[in-house]
Structure formats: C-alpha cells, structure tokens
C-alpha cells in the first residue's frame, strides 16, 4: 500500500529536532532507520502528520569505550553491531543478537535507538539491553535524563519515552572476566521475529552459574528481567541435565498468551527448552 | 503547529547511479516508487511494500537497503545505486553471467534485489560457505528457482574472485 | 511438391529423425540453454505490468469487504468522489449491469452448482476481500486515499469458514437458492472395495488435513484495460497465463465482439496457476475502462493479494488402504471434503482439486478395488482456484503415506514395498481403479535411479545410527504420476471455452533469420526458449537466428497458453510442425532457384545444402531476398510461401501421463518441533527433455513450493473466517536459509503420439516433494510413536503429535 500523506523535515541538530517534536506533539514522529516506522506507514497502521528525519544527526552517532562503559549512539546501525571490533570485543551479546535481526538490507538501515523505542516484544535488542543492565540516555526540550533498560519497557510496544523525547545513546557495561553471554531464539525462518528467545548474561565460576540476568523475547509482552529463573539457576553446574531446576520458575516469569498458530503452553515449552540450551552453551563462552 | 512545519514536497540533491540528481519529491513517496514512477527506472520492483520480500532492494551509500522502507526525501545527500546503474557500470557483470549460465532466475522479478544482495556479499571478498550464502540471501524471496541455482552462481563468483585475487 | 500453406495437412511430416537422440547442435533440442529473456530481465529491463504506462491512464483501487459475511446496508461514495485526483467512484450499480454474471460450474459434472457471481458485491459480501466498489484516480496513492473515504454500513452475518461446519445441520447457508452449502458431491467405485476391506489382513486408516495455501507469486496480479470507444475495441495488457481465455471471457461477458479484443501478456513475475483464474476485480477494471473510455490500470498490492488472489489446498481427507499379509494391496479408499470458497471458480473449476485427489490416489500401484468420494463445499472464504499440482499433491501424500505405513506394518523396507507393488511393465497399458490411463510410464526405473542417486542404503544406516543417539532423522520416498498437457476431452465437455491447442506462425525474414510468433506464454519457465530450440532444429538454423514472441491474442494462432504443464509438449509440437513446413517451403524455393531437386536439399547452419555433395547451394538470406524482393526471377507459376502457421492438439487425448519419484531426508528436533531439511532428490520422467537446464530448474522451484506446503505455508483463519496472517511476515514462504540442496536426475520415456515426445514438467516438483516431506517427517517420528497428519507441520503440530504418542 502507499503511505498516507505527511510532511517531512530534516533538522540539522538534535536541539532543533527536539524542538520540532515538542511543537508537533503527537502528530510529529522521529524517523531514524525507518525499518519499522515506514513499514507501518506503508500498511496505513498509523497517520502521523510530520516525519522528523533524525537519521543524519551527528549527535546520535559514535561508539566509545571508557572506564568499563561502552556508549553507543542511538543511530548505531544493526550492521555495525556485527562489524564493529569494539562491540564484538566489549559487548559481544549485541553482536550475537544482530545476526538474528532481519536481513542484511534491514540491518544496514535499522538502528539501535529505533529498535529500543519501537519495543517490539519479539525483538532481540530490547531484551539484550535489559539483560546487560544497559542505561538509555534520553533528551527532549525539557532536558536530559537516564533510564535503566530494565525500567524502560513498560508494556506492549510501550516505553518510558515521553512524547517528543528521543533516545540519544545507550550505555552498556563492557564485558568483564568471568562473565558469559548467550542468546538464542526459535524462529521459523532466519531473520524472522522470534517465537521464543532468550538473552542471558551470567557470571560463571568454572561451570557454576553465579548471578544471571535473563530477558526473554518473543513470548512476552515486553523485555524485562526473569527473576524467578535467575534465582532458580543460581549455583547450578553446567551442563544442565534437564529442565527440572527452572521449569516451574519459567511459569512464574512468563505468562504468554495464545497467538495465531502458537499456543501459550507451546511457548512455555519452547522457552523451557531454549533456556537449557542457552545455559549449556554459556560454559563454552566465558571470557577468561 | 505541525501543519506549518516541514514540507509535503521538497527538493533533494543526491547521486544516482554515479550521476548528480536534483529533483523535487513528494514527502510521502518511498524511494522505490520515486525511482519507478518519477525516473522510469523500473528495474527495482515492488513485491510487498513492507520490507520482507526484498524485490525493492537498492544500494544506499554502497550498502543494500529496502527501497520501500526509505523515503525519497531521505536520500538527499546520499548516493543511490540501482540495478540499471550497476549493470551499466559492469559491476554486476560476473554475477549476471553466472546467474544466467545456471538459469538462477526464471520470472526475473526477484533478480534485481537478489543480484544487489549477492553483490554486497561477493564484494566483501570473504570466502564463505554455501550455508552462509543461503543466510545472506535469505531476505530475498524467490518463488521460482528454489534457490539452489542462485547459491551455485554466487559460490562460483566467490571462487572466481578468489582465483583472480579479488 | 509445391505446397500452399492452406494445404498444410498434406505436408509430409516424415522426418521423425529430426529429433535425434543427441542434440543436433549445441543450441537445439536437448541443449542446456538458459531462458533467453534473462539477460534483459537481469539488467533491470523487464516490462512487467506495473512498469507499463499508457497515455491518460488512470489507477484503480478496490474497496473490499472487511467481513467474511455481511449485509451491505448502504454505500456512500460522495466524500471519495471529491477526493484529490479521483476521476470516478463506481459501485455495483455502475459495474455489474455491464457484465454477464459468472456461474462457475462444469457442465459435465452433474450436480455441480454455484450461485451466480457478479463483479462487485451488491446486497451482501460473502468473503473477506470481496470487492464492493472501485475508486479510479490519477495515481494509486490517491485512489487508496479515496477508498478510505468510502463509507459502507455493514451488518455482519454469521460466517462459516470450515467445510465440516458448513455441512453440519443448522449451518448458515451462504446462498439460499442452493439450499445448502454443497457445491458438488461425486463418488466413484471400482471393483468391490467394501468386500476387499472386510476381507483384508491389514487395513490402515488415516485422516489428513491440509490448510489453505497460496501461490504467492512475487509479482502480484495486474492488468491495464484500454477500451477505445471510437472503435469499440478493447486492448488488455494482462499479467495472465492465458490471453486467449481472457479474450473469450471479455467477449462473452462484456459483449464486445471477440475479434475486436486483444489481450497481451507482458513479462510476468510468476504464475503457478494463480494467474490463470478469473477475477472479479480484473474484469471490473475492464468495465471501468469501458465506462471511462480511458486506460485503467489495476495492480493488486500484497495486502490485498492475500484476500483476493485465488487460494488452494483446503482439504480434509479420510483415506485407507487394504492389504493381504503377503504384501499386496487389495483396495484403497479416499473420502475428500474441500472448502472451495464462496463461489465456484468460472472455467478453472475448483472441484478439480478434489477430483484429482480421488482419481489419482493409488495410481502407481497395482490393485483392483477402489472407492473415492469428493465433496466441494462453499464457505465464507476467498475462492479456490488453480495452483501448481492442483489435487495431485494431495493424491501423492495420501498414497505415499499409506503405502509407507503399510510397508512398516509388513516389516518391509518402503522401497522394497514399492518395487513389489508398482504396476509391472507387463500390465501396461492399463487403467487404474481411479480411472487413470497409464502407459509409457517408468515407476520402477525412476525408483531405482533415485535409490542410487540418494544412496538410500547409506541414509538408512545413518538414520539408524543416529536414532540410537536420540537424533531423529526421517527418509521419505514419494512416487507420483501426473496428468500433463490436457487435451480437448478434459475441458471440452465442461462447457469451459478453454482451448487446449497451441500454434505458431513462422516467418523467414529477408535476412535469413526466423521469426516465431507463438500462442504460448512464459512466466519464467522458459517455454519460449524451448520453442526457439525446436524451431532452430526443425528448420536447420542456429538458435541465435530465431526470435520468439508470444502471449498476444491478436497476432498468433489461437492457443491455450501456460497451464497444466503443457507449453513445450503442445506448443512445442506445433512449432515443430511449423518448422518442418517452413523448411519444406524454403527448399521448394531453393530448388527452383538452384535447379536442384528438393529431395536432394536440406538446411544446416542457416544454409541450404545439397545432401549428396554436402555443399551449400544457397544461403537462407538469399532465399529471403529472392522470395521477398526478387520474385521476378522465379518461374511465373512458383508460389512463394515463406510464412507458415501450424497448430497442434491431440483431439482424443485427455492428458500425457508423466511420472516421477522423490526422496527427502529430514531431521526433527523433538524438543522444539522444528524440522530441518537435510536433502532432497528427485528423478523425473517428463518424456523427451527438450532443455535439461530449464527442466531441472522447474523441478527445483516446484520442490521448494512443495516443502513450503508441507512445513511452512498456511492461511490462518479465526473461527469466524477472518484471515489472521495476511502479510509476508506471517505467511511463511520458504527463503534460502531453510531450503536444502536439490539433486536431480531423469528418465526419458517419450510420449509416443507426438513427434516431439515431450510431456509436462511444471508441476512434478511440487507434487512429489509434498509427498516425500510428509513421509519423511513421519518416518523420523516413527520410533517415538508420534504421527503428524496436519499440513503444514508447524513446530506446534509436531510437538502436539509427540505429546499424543501411543
């Protein structure tokens, strides 16, 4: 379908962008990679009056690593998560996740900030941000603030973003010795949205799990920590022989719903299987 | 207030297939439609208009992108390459030869997007497996060939490029 | 010796040696030549329907029913009419009176019923997506904007979406005048099946379910209708597989004299049978052009294709097989019930899926007793139409699943069971209990070739080793025979004006090249390339000297176009005849010019040669020059005929029977329900192979559609018939990463009744793969006692099967 009519503006600074978004209210939306927004507009799912193109704003770019923190600009493209040596080395979970995001054409344009703002519950990056304990840096005409990823995703496609607020950058803890990261998902075809997925960050002593931060995607309404499963796996040795240690905990943390072609109980079963597989792969990947 | 901000038609300046482009574009028009309807470059096709099928794949600043998920307005200041330009410049010649030799196309509707995606892959110079080739092109739907011949063609180009030293 | 074109039936076709065992050149019959259009298409120079614009052309966009079943209380187009760029908004009152209603019934099938279908819904919509009004505007975007302004007051009615629901007592009757929802109820019986089942040592019974699927061509449907009011003539550029069919339909239903209609097929981005059917929205577009006196384009977008393209495969089949303990099949039974949508499909009758399912079931196997029943049922869904393989994949699945289970029951390897139970060569020709005429088929040869090709024994060993380690792999073998290239007995008695002939005109150009104009069409399969090879060989020139144009109802002989795997077999035969006729006429002229007897002459490499001396005596270019410009140098009574036409049809042949067998190797992850395709092999017998490269690639493409059908594709509906997954993200067409490499081989059993000897190949890939994947997945699950019988085999269905295991 062809998108409905709208106006377009390309501000030359972040400050100008924030001002335009504030003036426009709910009728003005930011356009970054456009991979989600424009698909929705082409299907006439929404009707914004003004698109504010922030895709070339320098203030939203950049990758730095300083004092154990990796700061990525909101316009970091998914392709960069795959290709950047800095990210591969210091935030490898993002590199692992990026391989699952869509396809090369989508990854060349889609952005980190866009994925977090859109908050698709089947997307990888919101879950990674939560599992990693990332912090989002937000900006509007009112000022700047920081929100922890685990507080950012509030509901189905809903986030803490105030109207006219933009994600400027995301800060990730750089991976430390003794930590292992894992991500796996079940999807029907390469690049499809996950039916069930899990992003995991765990401290390991030899083969024993210490603390774990887990965030499921695909079978949830939003990215959030899975505290019951994290508690259930603490102290366990890998490889896990079965799922009995955490099967119950999964039911506490996940309350999926039936969707067309996939029932809630199937999602729970898949999540349980996936959890064991992700943990059993961690021990091979802990940094020394 | 929003009614006064921005434009529903605006001027853009870009590089298209290596040549300067200066046009007025409608804000609402996506890049694929702009190429097809305003410039009569109909080699870029529409299969779904929401980014899944890959028929609309073009190159923006040297990387593949969906023409339907890019506004014409967004390309201002950027360079765009289409199947027509990449054919004229000869950049796709090896791939086209190998595709044709193996009948790695039938109806041809996916081929523009498939060739551009394959081009991004072979240009990287990396040696990769058949499974990786399949992964790389898995965002380009083909309903005719079943993909086997396409994988053969891409594999052949990668091998020949490696022989010739790139 | 001198022949006029209209005496062509007397032309001597004695040259059977034309089609020799090896390719006569590297470019003729038997050569591996890529589809010749590819150079153009792969450089971005295709001319598909949406690439074409005519002066003063407008764009149509349809308002469609969002409800599967609803009364239309009111339609208000005032706001839409005034929207920017809108030329007109038409409703049923404007469009419908211009078109004779369609009644999609086959006259030779007693009891086949359909309510008449008008182009736009009038008082009621009976499927979600049915067109109700049409906006015609300067651009598609403006037309879409205006459709949002059309205000329709809907009163939803109870909808019935499922065939069992639709025939249950008390079900809402969709078309009151029919009394119930049954479109067609047909049974056949051969021998004494009831007795055979009662007496059998082994009976295996299964219930199979097939969800609705779609052809999902990458290019959606489209046409440009151009009615010229000054002439009362109609030109339609139509992404359609059969321009002559549509020429006849437009003439009969829109009351335009047929000779004033021209239908031209442009480059088409895939058909697979879907672009063969009749569509209300397409014909309404033609009416719009008639009313406006201007060209009108309609190209469906992907979202509307989900609710308007014809669909396929919505069946429930109960089937069973009876055997004696010595391992012979004694009977089979099929009971099919199919949900065909809200109307019968005109011309391309949607009872065909069910009919083929029950008449082809069991066909490769020797047995005598059979009972089959098919019911086609109306539901509040989009219409079922033709899609690659039609009912033959269903027959293959049922037959091969049952025989595989039978082999297991008997403790026999499934390949051994097939060896013993296929029709032996000695009993051919025969008629199967389902009514199939079998001759010139090669079940055993194909099976043996497949077994070697896939190294079957090694795979079984590997399967056993891995099973011991808890890895579940499956092997599935599926045999099929398929009707290809239907002849007049198929559609003739049905009343459908579908021609099963094809023809071509060949013209020697003054340059000595040959121009061919064929009634065939090509949506990617490469038929026109095969025709060029045949023309090149039969005349005696290289393929570079042959051009082929097709798909234009004004310029070629009458013909059927592309469907039912017929192009090369039928149109190729016509091209062969025309080539021989042209050669004869060229030699006659050469004889007159060179004073050499015609029977001492032949043509090779573009020159007329003396067969005794081997010397060239005159070039084709000189023949052309003299024949067109220097007739004054010819004898006064010499009749120059350097342009010939020939058609071909086999008046009494229902079909050419082709056959094949395929093997799948899969692994099922029993924890997640995911199936991985590890490999696919196919051996096909499509008679003489004109172009092995094109044949191979047709098989590969069909195979991936078959895998898609078995594992991935379905239209998911709510209980009240709302389509829930109408996007490319949710309807899972196979992409490259999940598909296996596909290894192929062939057997050639030529069709004896034609010179060419070719049968059809377009559908076999899908037919066999659907069967082999069904059997393979179930084979993987055998040790666990789990059975999947519901296509597609989604992970959930496999997990549920494992949970249910005995």
Size of interface B-C (CB pairs under 8 A): 183
| Same domain (yes/no): A193, A258 | yes
Give yes or no for A169 touching C (CB within 8 A).
no
* CB proximity B102 to C under 8 Å: yes
- A110 falls within a domain: yes
Q: Tell me which of A173, A198, A219 is where a domain ends.
A: A173
Kindly list the residues from chain B whose CB atom is less than 8 angstroms away from the CB atom of residue A56.
77
Q: Look at residue A197 and give its three-state secondary structure.
A: strand
User: How far is it, in rounded angstroms, from Cα A49 to Cα A31?
Assistant: 12
Q: What is the mean pLDDT of residues C490-510?
A: 94
- Residues of chain B numbered 8-47 and touching chain C (CB < 8 Å): 28-29, 36, 41-47
Cβ–Cβ of A9/B6 closer than 8 Å?
A: yes
Q: B79-81 and B57-60: which strand pairing?
A: antiparallel
Q: Are C342 and C130 in contact (CB under 8 A)?
A: yes
- The CATH code of the domain that includes A164 is 3.30.465.10
**Which residues 49-108 of chain C have a CB within 8 Å of chain B?**
50-51
Identify any residues that bridge with C48 across adjacent strands, giving them in sequence order.
C267
C464 — contact with chain B (CB < 8 Å)?
A: no
Q: How far is C401 from chain A (nearest CA, A)?
A: 25
**Which residues neighbour A156 within 8 Å (Cβ) at sequence distance 6 or greater?**
A121, A221, A222
- Which residues does chain A have within 8 Å of residue B30's beta carbon, measured at their own beta carbons? 3, 38, 42
Residue in this structure with the two tokens 């999926």, named with its chain if needed:
A256
Q: What is the pLDDT of residues A195-234, one digit of tens each?
A: 999 999 999 988 899 999 999 999 999 999 999 999 999 9
Instruction: Indicate if the pLDDT at residue C17 is higher than 90.
Output: no
Pairing assessment for the beta strands C70-76 and C202-210 based on DSSP bridges? unpaired
Residue range C347-360: average pLDDT? 95
Q: What is the mean pLDDT of residues C509-523?
A: 97
User: In chain A, what residues touch B138 (CB-CB under 8 Å)?
Assistant: 103, 189-191
Contacts with C37 from chain B: Cβ below 8 Å: 108
One domain, residues A78 and A163:
yes
3-state class of A250 per DSSP? helix
Same domain, A11 and A75: no
Q: How far is A133 from chain B (nearest CA, A)?
A: 30
Q: HSE of C584 in the Cβ direction (CA atoms, 13 Å)?
A: 22
Is the confidence at residue C68, as pLDDT, over 60? Answer: yes
DSSP letter string, chain B: -GGGSSBSEEEEEEEETTEEEEEEEETT-BHHHIIIIIS--TTS--S-SSSSS-TTEEEETTEEEEGGGSBGGGGTTSEEE-HHHHHHTTTTHHHHHHHHHTT--SS-TTHHHHHHHHHHHHHT-----HHHHHHHTTTS--SSS-SHHHHHHHHHHHHHHHHTT-
Domain boundaries, chain B: 2-86, 92-163
A194 in a structural domain: yes
pLDDT for res A284? 57
Per DSSP, the residues of C218-254 read: SS--EEEEEEETTTTEEEEEE--S-HHHHHHHHHHHH
The average pLDDT across B99-128 equals 95
Of B1, B66, B74, which is closest to A53 when you measure between CB atoms?
Answer: B74
CATH number assigned to the domain with residue range C315-489+652-803, chosen from the 4 options 3.30.210.10, 3.40.50.300, 3.40.50.360, 3.30.365.10 = 3.30.365.10
Contact indicator for C76, C151 with CB cutoff of 8 Å = yes
Contacts (Cβ under 8 Å, ≥6 apart) of C286: C223, C225, C227, C234, C236, C250, C254, C296
The answer to whether A31 contacts B71, with C-beta atoms less than 8 Å apart, is: yes
Closest chain C residue by Cα to residue A3? C141
List chain B residues with CB under 8 Å of A5: 8, 27-28
Q: What pLDDT is stored for residue B127 in this prediction?
A: 79
Of A173, A193, A224, which one is at a domain's C-terminal end? A173
- Could you report the predicted ipTM of this complex, rounded to two decimals? 0.97
Would the CB atoms of B2 and A31 count as touching at under 8 Å?
no
Q: Tell me which chains share at least 3 CB pairs under 8 Å with chain B.
A: A, C
Inter-residue contact C340 to C313 (CB < 8 Å) = no
Q: Which of B69, C660, B44, C534 is nearest to A51 (CA)?
A: B69
pLDDT in tens, C182-231: 999 999 999 999 999 999 999 999 999 999 999 999 999 999 999 999 99
Residue A271: CATH number of its domain:
3.30.390.50
B chain contacts of residue C217, beta-carbon cutoff 8 Å: 107, 109, 143
Q: Please tell me the distance in Å from A148's CA to the nearest CA on chain B.
A: 30
Could you tell me if A233 and A204 are in contact, meaning their C-beta atoms sit under 8 angstroms apart? no
User: Is C708 a residue whose pLDDT tops 80?
Assistant: yes
Give how many domains chain A has, as a whole number.
Answer: 3
Location of structure tokens 């109609």: C234
Contact B101 C34 (CB under 8 A): yes
Q: pLDDT value at position A127?
A: 98
Rounded distance between C-alpha atoms, residue C706 and residue C354, angstroms: 18
Q: What percent of chain C has pLDDT over 70?
A: 97
Q: Is B130 exposed, middle or buried (0-12, 13-18, 19+ CB in 10 A)?
A: middle
Which residue in this structure is represented by tokens 């469609």?
Answer: C64
For residue C646, pLDDT over 70 is answered with: yes
Of A247, A288, A243, whose CA–CA distance to A268 is shortest?
A247
CB proximity B112 to A under 8 Å: no
Q: Do A105 and B54 touch (CB under 8 A)?
A: yes
Class of domain B92-163: mainly alpha
pLDDT averaged over every residue in chain C: 95
Q: Which CATH class is domain B2-86?
A: alpha beta
Residue A193, in any domain of the structure? yes
Average pLDDT over residues A69-77: 98
Domain boundaries, chain C: 5-31+501-648, 49-157+218-303, 315-489+652-803
> What's the angle, vertex CA A206, arms to CA A203 and CA A208, rounded to 5?
60
pLDDT digits (tens, 9 = 90+) for C556-599: 999 999 998 899 999 999 999 999 999 999 999 999 999 999 99
Q: Max alpha carbon distance in chain B (Å)?
A: 61
Pick the CATH number of C5-31+501-648 from 3.90.1200.10, 3.30.365.10, 3.65.10.10, 3.30.390.50: 3.30.365.10
A143 falls within a domain: yes
pLDDT band at B130 (very low <50, low <70, confident <90, very high): very high
pLDDT tens digits, C736-750: 999 999 999 999 999
User: Is there a domain that residue A79 lies in?
Assistant: yes
Nearest chain A residue (CA) to C303: A1
Nearest to B143 among C217, C525, C697 (CB): C217
A242–chain C Cβ distance below 8 A for any pair: no
Containing H/E element for C195?
Answer: helix C193-199
Topology adopted by domain C49-157+218-303: Aldehyde Oxidoreductase; domain 3 (3.90.1170)
3-state helix, strand, coil in chain C (%, to 5): 35, 25, 40
Comparing alpha-carbon positions, the chain C residue that sits nearest to B114 is C42
pLDDT tier at B126 (50, 70, 90 boundaries)? confident
Can you give C53-108 as a three-state secondary structure string?
A: CCCCCEEEEEEECCCCCEEEEEEECHHHHCCCCEEEEECHHHHHHHCCCECCCCCC
What is the Cα–Cα distance from B166 to C572, expressed in whole angstroms?
Answer: 44
State which residues form the domain around A142: 60-173
Contact B143 C50 (CB under 8 A): no
Partner-chain contact B6 A8, CB within 8 Å? yes
Question: Does residue A161 sit in the same domain as residue A66?
Answer: yes
């Amino acid at each position: 379908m062809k998108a409905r009519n709208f106006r377009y503006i390309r501000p030359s600074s972040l400050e100008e962008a924030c001002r335009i978004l504030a003036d426009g209210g709910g009728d003005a939306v930011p356009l970054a990679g456009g991979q989600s927004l424009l698909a929705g507009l082409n299907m006439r799912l929404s009707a914004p009056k003004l698109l504010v193109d922030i895709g070339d704003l320098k203030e939203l770019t950049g990758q730095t690593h300083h004092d154990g923190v990796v700061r990525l600009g909101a316009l970091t493209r998914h392709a960069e998560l795959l290709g950047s040596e800095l990210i591969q080395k210091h935030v490898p979970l993002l590199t692992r996740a990026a391989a699952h995001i869509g396809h090369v054409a989508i990854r060349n344009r889609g952005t980190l900030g866009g994925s977090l703002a859109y908050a698709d519950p089947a997307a990888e990056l919101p879950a990674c941000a939560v599992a990693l304990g990332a912090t989002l840096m937000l900006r509007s005409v009112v000022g700047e603030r920081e929100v922890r990823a685990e507080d950012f995703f509030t509901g189905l496609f809903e986030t803490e973003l105030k109207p006219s607020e933009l994600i400027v950058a995301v800060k990730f803890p750089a991976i430390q010795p003794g930590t292992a990261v894992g991500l796996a998902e079940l999807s029907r075809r390469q690049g499809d949205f996950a039916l069930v997925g899990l992003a995991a960050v765990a401290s390991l002593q030899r083969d024993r799990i210490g603390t774990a931060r887990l965030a499921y995607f695909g079978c949830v309404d939003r990215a959030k920590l899975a505290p019951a499963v994290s508690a259930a796996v603490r102290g366990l040795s890998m490889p896990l022989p079965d799922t009995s240690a955490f099967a119950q905990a999964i039911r506490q943390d996940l309350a999926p719903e039936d969707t067309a072609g996939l029932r809630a109980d199937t999602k729970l079963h898949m999540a349980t299987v996936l959890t064991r597989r992700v943990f059993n792969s961690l021990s091979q990947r802990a940094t020394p | 207030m929003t009614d006064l901000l921005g434009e529903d038609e605006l001027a853009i300046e870009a590089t298209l297939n290596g040549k300067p482009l200066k046009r007025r574009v409608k804000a609402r028009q996506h890049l694929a439609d702009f190429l097809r309807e305003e410039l009569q470059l109909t080699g870029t096709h529409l299969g779904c208009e929401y980014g899944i099928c890959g028929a609309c794949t073009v190159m923006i600043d040297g990387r593949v992108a969906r023409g339907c998920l890019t506004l014409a307005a967004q390309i201002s200041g950027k360079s765009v390459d289409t199947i027509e330009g990449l054919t004229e410049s000869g950049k796709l010649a090896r791939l086209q030869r190998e595709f044709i030799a193996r009948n790695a196309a039938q109806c041809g509707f996916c081929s523009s997007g498939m060739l551009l995606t394959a081009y991004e892959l072979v240009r990287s110079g990396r040696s990769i497996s058949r499974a990786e080739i399949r992964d790389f092109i898995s965002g380009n739907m083909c309903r005719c060939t079943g993909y086997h011949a396409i994988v053969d063609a891409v594999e052949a180009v990668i091998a020949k490029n490696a022989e010739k030293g790139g | 010796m001198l022949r006029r074109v209209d005496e062509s039936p007397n032309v001597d076709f004695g040259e059977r040696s034309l089609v020799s065992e090896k390719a006569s050149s590297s470019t003729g019959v038997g050569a591996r030549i890529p589809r010749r259009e590819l150079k153009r298409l792969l450089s971005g120079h295709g001319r598909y329907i949406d690439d074409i614009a005519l002066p003063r052309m407008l764009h149509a966009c349809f308002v469609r029913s969002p409800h599967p079943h609803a009364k239309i209380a009111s339609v208000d187009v005032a706001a839409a009419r005034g929207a920017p760029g809108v030329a007109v908004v038409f409703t049923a009152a404007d469009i419908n009176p211009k078109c004779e209603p369609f009644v999609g019934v086959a006259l030779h099938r007693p009891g086949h019923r359909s309510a008449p279908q008008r182009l736009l819904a009038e008082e009621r919509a009976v499927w979600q997506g049915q067109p109700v009004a049409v906006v015609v505007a300067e651009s598609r975007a403006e037309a879409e904007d205006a459709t949002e302004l059309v205000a329709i007051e809907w009163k939803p009615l109870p909808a019935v979406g499922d065939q069992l629901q639709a025939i249950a007592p008390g079900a809402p009757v969709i078309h009151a005048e029919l009394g119930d929802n049954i479109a067609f109820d047909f049974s056949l019986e051969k021998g004494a099946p009831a007795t055979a089942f009662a007496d059998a040592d082994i009976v295996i019974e299964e219930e199979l379910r097939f969800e609705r699927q779609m052809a999902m061509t990458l290019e959606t449907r489209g046409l440009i209708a151009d009615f010229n009011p000054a002439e009362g003539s109609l030109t339609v550029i139509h992404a359609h597989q059969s321009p002559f069919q549509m020429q006849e339909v437009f003439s009969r239903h829109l009351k335009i004299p047929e000779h004033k209609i021209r239908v031209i097929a442009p480059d088409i981005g895939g058909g697979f049978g879907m672009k063969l059917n009749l569509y209300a929205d397409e014909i309404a577009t033609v009416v719009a052009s008639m009313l406006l006196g201007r060209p009108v384009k309609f190209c469906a977008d992907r979202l509307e294709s989900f609710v308007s393209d014809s669909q396929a495969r919505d069946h429930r089949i109960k089937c069973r097989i009876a055997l004696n303990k010595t391992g012979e099949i004694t009977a089979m039974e099929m009971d099919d019930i199919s949900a065909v949508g809200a109307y019968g499909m005109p011309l391309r009758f949607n009872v065909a899926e069910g009919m083929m399912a029950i008449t082809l079931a069991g066909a490769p196997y020797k047995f005598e007793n059979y009972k089959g029943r098919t019911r086609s049922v109306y539901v509040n869904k989009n219409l079922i139409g033709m899609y690659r393989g039609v009912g033959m994949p269903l027959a293959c699945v049922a037959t091969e699943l049952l025989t595989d289970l039978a082999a297991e029951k008997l403790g026999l390897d499934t390949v051994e069971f097939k060896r013993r139970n296929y029709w032996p060569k000695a009993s051919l020709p025969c008629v199967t209990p389902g009514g199939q005429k079998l001759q010139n088929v090669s079940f055993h040869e194909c099976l043996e070739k497949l077994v070697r090709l896939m190294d079957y024994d090694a795979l079984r060993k590997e399967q056993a080793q891995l099973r011991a380690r808890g890895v579940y792999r499956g092997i599935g073998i599926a045999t099929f025979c398929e009707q290809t290239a239907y002849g007049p007995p198929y559609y003739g008695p049905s009343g459908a004006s579908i021609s099963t002939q094809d023809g071509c005109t060949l013209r020697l150009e003054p340059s000595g090249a040959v121009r061919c104009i064929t009634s065939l069409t090509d949506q990617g399969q490469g038929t026109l390339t095969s025709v060029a090879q045949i023309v090149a060989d039969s005349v005696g020139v290289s393929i570079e000297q042959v051009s082929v144009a097709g798909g234009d109802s004004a310029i070629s002989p009458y013909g059927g176009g592309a469907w039912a795997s017929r192009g090369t077999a039928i149109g190729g035969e016509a091209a062969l005849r025309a080539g021989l006729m042209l050669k004869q006429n060229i030699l006659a002229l050469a004889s007159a010019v060179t004073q050499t007897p015609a029977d001492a002459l032949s043509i090779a490499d573009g020159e007329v040669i003396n067969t005794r001396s081997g010397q060239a005596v005159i070039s084709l270019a000189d023949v052309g020059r003299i024949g067109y410009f220097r007739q004054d140098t010819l004898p006064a009574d010499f009749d120059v005929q350097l342009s010939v036409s020939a058609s071909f049809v086999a008046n009494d042949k229902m079909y050419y029977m082709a056959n094949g067998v395929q093997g799948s190797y899969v692994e099922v992850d029993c924890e997640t329900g995911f199936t991985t395709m590890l490999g696919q092999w196919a051996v096909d017998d499509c008679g003489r192979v004109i172009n092995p490269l094109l044949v191979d690639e047709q098989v590969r493409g069909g195979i991936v559609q078959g895998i898609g059908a078995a594992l991935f594709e379905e239209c998911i509906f709510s209980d009240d018939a709302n389509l829930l997954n109408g996007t490319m993200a949710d309807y899972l067409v196979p992409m490259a990463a999940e598909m296996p490499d596909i290894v192929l081989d062939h057997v050639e059993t030529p069709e004896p009744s034609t010179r060419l000897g070719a049968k059809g190949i377009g559908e076999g890939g899908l037919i066999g793969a659907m069967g082999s994947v069904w059997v393979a997945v179930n084979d993987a699950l055998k040790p666990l006692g789990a059975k999947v019988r519901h296509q597609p085999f989604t992970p959930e269905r496999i997990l549920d099967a494992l949970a249910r295991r005995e």
